[in-house]
Structure 1
Amino acid sequence: MTFLDYLISVDARTALMGRMMRALGVDRQLKVVPDHAAVTDRAANRCRACGHQDECSTWLDDHHQADEPPAYCRNSDLIARLQHVSGDR
Protein backbone atom coordinates (compact mmCIF):
# COMPACT_ATOMS: atom_id res chain seq x y z
CA MET A 1 0.00 0.00 0.00
CA THR A 2 1.35 3.39 -0.93
CA PHE A 3 1.05 6.40 1.31
CA LEU A 4 -1.57 7.86 -1.04
CA ASP A 5 -3.61 4.62 -0.80
CA TYR A 6 -3.41 4.90 2.98
CA LEU A 7 -4.64 8.51 2.95
CA ILE A 8 -7.54 7.64 0.65
CA SER A 9 -8.44 4.72 2.91
CA VAL A 10 -8.38 6.93 6.03
CA ASP A 11 -10.52 9.56 4.32
CA ALA A 12 -13.03 6.95 3.14
CA ARG A 13 -13.37 5.51 6.65
CA THR A 14 -13.87 8.96 8.12
CA ALA A 15 -16.58 9.61 5.52
CA LEU A 16 -18.28 6.37 6.58
CA MET A 17 -18.39 7.63 10.17
CA GLY A 18 -20.09 10.83 9.04
CA ARG A 19 -22.62 8.87 7.00
CA MET A 20 -23.31 6.57 9.96
CA MET A 21 -23.89 9.50 12.32
CA ARG A 22 -26.29 11.11 9.82
CA ALA A 23 -28.14 7.84 9.16
CA LEU A 24 -28.70 7.43 12.88
CA GLY A 25 -29.66 11.07 13.37
CA VAL A 26 -26.90 11.93 15.83
CA ASP A 27 -24.61 14.08 13.70
CA ARG A 28 -25.86 17.30 15.29
CA GLN A 29 -25.57 15.93 18.82
CA LEU A 30 -21.98 14.91 18.14
CA LYS A 31 -21.14 18.53 17.30
CA VAL A 32 -22.42 19.89 20.63
CA VAL A 33 -21.22 17.36 23.21
CA PRO A 34 -18.64 18.65 25.69
CA ASP A 35 -15.14 18.39 24.21
CA HIS A 36 -16.70 17.50 20.87
CA ALA A 37 -13.40 17.72 18.99
CA ALA A 38 -11.82 15.00 21.13
CA VAL A 39 -14.98 12.86 21.10
CA THR A 40 -15.19 13.13 17.31
CA ASP A 41 -11.49 12.32 16.94
CA ARG A 42 -11.84 9.18 19.09
CA ALA A 43 -14.91 8.11 17.12
CA ALA A 44 -13.08 8.65 13.83
CA ASN A 45 -10.11 6.64 15.12
CA ARG A 46 -12.43 3.74 16.00
CA CYS A 47 -13.85 3.88 12.47
CA ARG A 48 -10.40 4.02 10.91
CA ALA A 49 -9.37 0.90 12.84
CA CYS A 50 -12.49 -1.04 11.83
CA GLY A 51 -12.19 -3.89 9.38
CA HIS A 52 -15.79 -3.68 8.18
CA GLN A 53 -15.61 -0.73 5.79
CA ASP A 54 -17.06 -2.65 2.83
CA GLU A 55 -19.90 -4.04 4.95
CA CYS A 56 -20.46 -0.61 6.48
CA SER A 57 -20.64 1.09 3.11
CA THR A 58 -23.17 -1.45 1.87
CA TRP A 59 -25.21 -1.16 5.09
CA LEU A 60 -25.26 2.64 4.75
CA ASP A 61 -26.33 2.39 1.12
CA ASP A 62 -29.33 0.34 2.31
CA HIS A 63 -30.09 2.37 5.46
CA HIS A 64 -30.34 6.10 4.85
CA GLN A 65 -32.12 6.36 8.21
CA ALA A 66 -31.89 3.80 10.99
CA ASP A 67 -32.58 3.37 14.69
CA GLU A 68 -29.50 1.29 15.50
CA PRO A 69 -26.08 0.81 13.94
CA PRO A 70 -24.98 -2.60 12.69
CA ALA A 71 -23.67 -4.98 15.37
CA TYR A 72 -20.04 -4.58 14.29
CA CYS A 73 -20.04 -0.78 14.66
CA ARG A 74 -17.29 0.29 17.04
CA ASN A 75 -19.16 3.50 17.84
CA SER A 76 -22.38 1.80 18.98
CA ASP A 77 -21.97 2.96 22.58
CA LEU A 78 -21.32 6.55 21.53
CA ILE A 79 -24.29 6.50 19.17
CA ALA A 80 -26.55 5.14 21.92
CA ARG A 81 -25.41 7.91 24.30
CA LEU A 82 -26.01 10.57 21.65
CA GLN A 83 -29.46 9.16 20.91
CA HIS A 84 -30.27 9.20 24.62
CA VAL A 85 -29.19 12.85 24.95
CA SER A 86 -31.35 13.81 21.98
CA GLY A 87 -34.35 12.00 23.43
CA ASP A 88 -34.57 9.47 20.59
CA ARG A 89 -34.29 6.62 23.08
Structure 2
Amino acid sequence: MSLLEYLIGADARTALMERMMRKMGVERQLKVVADHAAVTGRAADRCRSCGHQDECAAWLDETTHAEHPPAYCRNSDLIARLQSIR
Protein backbone atom coordinates (compact mmCIF):
# COMPACT_ATOMS: atom_id res chain seq x y z
CA MET A 1 0.00 0.00 0.00
CA SER A 2 1.35 3.38 -0.95
CA LEU A 3 1.36 6.36 1.38
CA LEU A 4 -1.28 8.03 -0.78
CA GLU A 5 -3.56 4.99 -0.55
CA TYR A 6 -3.11 4.96 3.23
CA LEU A 7 -3.91 8.67 3.53
CA ILE A 8 -7.00 8.39 1.33
CA GLY A 9 -8.17 5.45 3.45
CA ALA A 10 -7.52 7.36 6.67
CA ASP A 11 -9.51 10.34 5.36
CA ALA A 12 -12.40 8.05 4.44
CA ARG A 13 -12.44 6.54 7.93
CA THR A 14 -12.33 10.00 9.50
CA ALA A 15 -15.28 10.99 7.31
CA LEU A 16 -17.14 7.91 8.61
CA MET A 17 -16.48 9.07 12.18
CA GLU A 18 -17.91 12.49 11.39
CA ARG A 19 -20.97 10.92 9.77
CA MET A 20 -21.46 8.63 12.77
CA MET A 21 -21.31 11.56 15.19
CA ARG A 22 -23.93 13.42 13.12
CA LYS A 23 -26.11 10.31 12.77
CA MET A 24 -26.03 9.78 16.54
CA GLY A 25 -26.76 13.48 17.13
CA VAL A 26 -23.62 14.21 19.16
CA GLU A 27 -21.57 16.38 16.81
CA ARG A 28 -22.30 19.52 18.84
CA GLN A 29 -21.42 17.84 22.13
CA LEU A 30 -18.15 16.63 20.65
CA LYS A 31 -17.22 20.21 19.73
CA VAL A 32 -17.79 21.58 23.23
CA VAL A 33 -16.48 18.76 25.42
CA ALA A 34 -13.41 19.64 27.50
CA ASP A 35 -10.21 19.20 25.49
CA HIS A 36 -12.33 18.61 22.38
CA ALA A 37 -9.38 18.60 19.99
CA ALA A 38 -7.71 15.72 21.81
CA VAL A 39 -11.00 13.83 22.26
CA THR A 40 -11.81 14.25 18.56
CA GLY A 41 -8.30 13.15 17.60
CA ARG A 42 -8.54 9.97 19.67
CA ALA A 43 -11.99 9.23 18.23
CA ALA A 44 -10.61 9.66 14.71
CA ASP A 45 -7.68 7.38 15.56
CA ARG A 46 -10.10 4.68 16.75
CA CYS A 47 -11.99 4.94 13.46
CA ARG A 48 -8.79 4.88 11.43
CA SER A 49 -7.74 1.63 13.11
CA CYS A 50 -11.13 -0.04 12.63
CA GLY A 51 -11.53 -2.81 10.10
CA HIS A 52 -15.27 -2.32 9.61
CA GLN A 53 -15.33 0.69 7.30
CA ASP A 54 -17.43 -1.01 4.60
CA GLU A 55 -19.96 -2.23 7.16
CA CYS A 56 -19.97 1.18 8.82
CA ALA A 57 -20.55 3.02 5.55
CA ALA A 58 -23.43 0.68 4.71
CA TRP A 59 -24.94 1.08 8.19
CA LEU A 60 -24.73 4.86 7.93
CA ASP A 61 -26.33 4.80 4.46
CA GLU A 62 -29.15 2.45 5.49
CA THR A 63 -29.99 3.71 8.98
CA THR A 64 -32.23 6.73 9.34
CA HIS A 65 -32.40 6.81 13.15
CA ALA A 66 -30.67 4.79 15.84
CA GLU A 67 -30.24 5.10 19.59
CA HIS A 68 -26.84 3.38 19.52
CA PRO A 69 -24.09 2.84 16.96
CA PRO A 70 -23.45 -0.69 15.68
CA ALA A 71 -21.80 -3.11 18.11
CA TYR A 72 -18.45 -2.99 16.30
CA CYS A 73 -18.15 0.81 16.63
CA ARG A 74 -14.96 1.63 18.51
CA ASN A 75 -16.43 4.96 19.61
CA SER A 76 -19.57 3.52 21.24
CA ASP A 77 -18.46 4.52 24.74
CA LEU A 78 -17.63 8.07 23.64
CA ILE A 79 -20.96 8.38 21.84
CA ALA A 80 -22.83 7.18 24.96
CA ARG A 81 -21.01 9.74 27.11
CA LEU A 82 -21.76 12.51 24.61
CA GLN A 83 -25.43 11.49 24.47
CA SER A 84 -25.66 11.89 28.25
CA ILE A 85 -24.60 15.56 27.90
CA ARG A 86 -27.73 16.50 25.96
TM bucket (normalised to shorter chain) is over 0.9
- Structure 2 partner of 1:69: 69
CA distance in 1 between counterparts of 2:64 and 2:8 reads 23
Q: Sequence identity, in percent?
A: 72
**Unaligned stretches of 5+ residues in structure 2:** none
1:27-47 CA-to-partner distances (Å, cap 9, x unmatched) read: 010000000000000000000
Name the aligned partner's letter for residue 59 of structure 1: W
The aligned runs of 1:1-89 (5 Å cut-off) are 1-86=1-86
TM-score, with length taken from structure 2: 0.97
For the aligned residue pairs, the C-alpha RMSD in angstroms reads 0.7
Deviation above 2 Å: which 4+ runs of structure 1?
A: none
Asked if the contact 1:25–1:65 (Cα under 8 Å) also holds between the matched residues in 2, the reply is no
Aligned residues: 86
Question: How far apart, CA to CA, are the structure 1 residues paired with 2:72 and 2:8?
Answer: 22
